[in-house]
């Protein structure tokens, strides 16, 4: 069975600073995807970044990047130049061949002005 663990229930960062959100996972699948989703107060799930497990290169999307350590089953999200609009709940998720996602418990990120 797949599991996703986020050990940081809450994090805080100063505006313009960098913050890293942690995620570890366990899976029995050889081909899978890892995701970071942002959920603002509107509750709409917004895809932040996606990583294919077969790719060694870490995914990046503008100010968002990941540190994917496959052997350690670690998938952390780094947010650079944090902005007030980045404040939200962030979920790490694992997806396999069926596209069903298993989510971590989430990290609530606060951005201080």
Partner 1 sequence: GAVVSQHPSWVICKSGTSVKIECRSLDFQATTMFWYRQFPKQSLMLMATSNEGSKATYEQGVEKDKFLINHASLTLSTLTVTSAHPEDSSFYICSASPGQGAGTGELFFGEGSRLTVL
- Out of 28, 30, 41, 44, point to the residue binding partner 1 (CB under 8 A): 44
Which of positions 52-91 make contact with partner 1 (CB under 8 A)? Answer: 52, 91
- Out of 33, 36, 68, 75, point to the residue binding partner 1 (CB under 8 A): 33
Compute the least distance from the CB of residue 44 to partner 1, in Å.
Answer: 5
- Out of 11, 45, 65, 67, point to the residue binding partner 1 (CB under 8 A): 45
Which of positions 3-22 make contact with partner 1 (CB under 8 A)? Answer: none
CA angle 9, 42, 24 (to 5 degrees): 30
Q: Which of 93, 110, 6 is nearest to 47 (CA)?
A: 93
**CA atoms of 105 and 91, how far apart (whole Å):** 7
Question: Torsion angle of alpha carbons 75, 79, 80, 84, nearest 10°?
Answer: 180
Pair type for strands 107-112 and 10-14: parallel
Closer CB to partner 1, 45 or 65, in the complex: 45
Question: Torsion angle of alpha carbons 5, 74, 25, 65, nearest 10°?
Answer: 80
Compute the least distance from the CB of residue 50 to partner 1, in Å.
Answer: 6
Contacts with partner 1, residue ranges (CB under 8 A): 31, 33, 35, 42-45, 50, 52, 91, 95-106
């Amino acid at each position: 069975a797949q599991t996703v663990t986020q050990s940081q229930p809450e994090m805080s960062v100063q505006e313009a600073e960098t913050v890293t959100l942690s995620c570890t996972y366990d899976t029995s699948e050889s081909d899978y995807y890892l995701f970071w989703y942002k959920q603002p107060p509107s509750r709409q799930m917004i895809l932040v970044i996606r990583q294919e497990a077969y790719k060694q290169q870490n995914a990046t999307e503008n100010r968002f990047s990941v540190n994917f350590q496959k052997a350690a089953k670690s998938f952390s999200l780094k947010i650079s130049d944090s902005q007030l609009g980045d404040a939200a709940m962030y979920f790490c998720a694992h997806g396999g061949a069926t596209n069903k996602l298993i989510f971590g418990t989430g990290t609530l990120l606060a951005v201080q002005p």
